[in-house]
Amino acid sequence: MAVQWLLVCHGLVTLLVVVSFLCGQWPIFQGTFIQRIHFFLTFGAYDYFRRFVLFSCGSRGVDALHSAEYYCCDRPNPIIQLIYLLIIGTTYYIIAKSSFIYIPGYYISGIHRYTSFLAVGYLSAYPYDNIIFTEKECHTCKIPKPARSKHCSICDRCVARFDHHCAWMNNCIGERNTRYFMAFILWHFLICIYGIAALALILAGRLKDLQVVHILTVYYDIENSYRELAPLVLQWLLNSHNTQILVMVFLAVITMLLAGFFTYHAKLCLTNTTTNESFKWQEYLSWQTKVNEAKASAAALKASLGELSQEKKPPESKWKTFFSRSHLEEVEVVKNNIYDKGYLHNIYEIVAPFSTRRSFLLKKSKTG
């Protein structure tokens, strides 16, 4: 019973952390405990810990903390990573505590223990397009801003091919680590699939060992059909192995979220677009559409005034006027992404970024 309550609390805490971290700055949560949790996760917890180190160890302790922070994670505030490891560790503990006892054989059980433990633990070259990227200076770094880059306020540096700042990795996703970020998502997706499959096989083994279907059909005279047996078998599983069912539901939800996230970023990689650029393109296309509509409206008004100034013509048929195409319908804005050079080239650019290629390094050494 304690494991079930631990699972419920684990799910609620995970949901609260994710919602608070991602949505804590939304206006709807202003002044609520969600905003306060968001502040605690992003700034408060680490600030309190640093004050504690200063109080207990003095300035030398703070300097040692900064040195460890710089050499180990190279980013400030690793609180999110600690919470992430806590969530992963708790999920692993619940699965191990509730399900490993049903795996037949001591050695097989041991193999699953260690393999699952390892699975949890393993884890400017671009031209300016003069559309969404123009040659200008970074206001913070005071240097020429490369195309497709953006200054990250958290990392306090300009990031090449900036996609977004990932709090779970405590790093910006850019040119050199997009491949690792995609592998990070895919690996967690496969871990969740592995967990669901392993638990499903365990439950199937329990059904077979206890002969649940045989008992229902022989002793209770239940018809041997999926329609009749499925509700009864599901009811037995919920009564006897509710912890495993809850873990499977939790993993299934995480799997769907990871699948959607991976699909979205895979589409961006195939079109050689970043999350930052997708928002820029939306703003540009929206603005360009409004400009073109304004031009079309002005042209239509000018044409109407010209017709009025000419000699009076016989009126057009009502049907012809009804089916005539509006000038605004002719407005079309095309997304001209010069960085999209085909699926194969785009994938190769993710796997082997420009700045890591030998040709780029030789060119840079000659010019530098």
| pLDDT digit string, tens, across residues 19-47 | 787 778 888 888 888 888 888 877 777 78
pTM score of the predicted model = 0.70
Angle between helices 79-99 and 106-121 (to 10 degrees): 170
For the chain, the average pLDDT equals: 78
What percent of the chain shows pLDDT beyond 90?
13
Helices then strands (H, E): number in the chain? 13, 6
Q: Provide mean pLDDT across the span 48-73.
A: 76
Nearby residues of 187 by Cβ (< 8 Å), 6 or more positions away = 122, 123
Residue 157's φ and ψ, nearest 5 degrees, are: -160, 160
**Amino acid of residue 145:** K
Nearby residues of 135 by Cβ (< 8 Å), 6 or more positions away = 128, 144, 145
Q: Provide mean pLDDT across the span 73-85.
A: 64
Model pLDDT, residue 4: 65
The answer to whether 98 and 243 have CB atoms below 8 angstroms apart is yes
- For residues 25 and 235, what is the distance between their CA atoms, to the nearest angstrom? 42
Residue 328, helix vs strand vs coil: helix
Residue 175 pLDDT greater than 80, yes or no: yes
Among candidate residues 23, 73, 166, 172, the one labeled active-site is: 166
Q: Provide mean pLDDT across the span 250-275.
A: 93
Has 166 been annotated as catalytic? yes
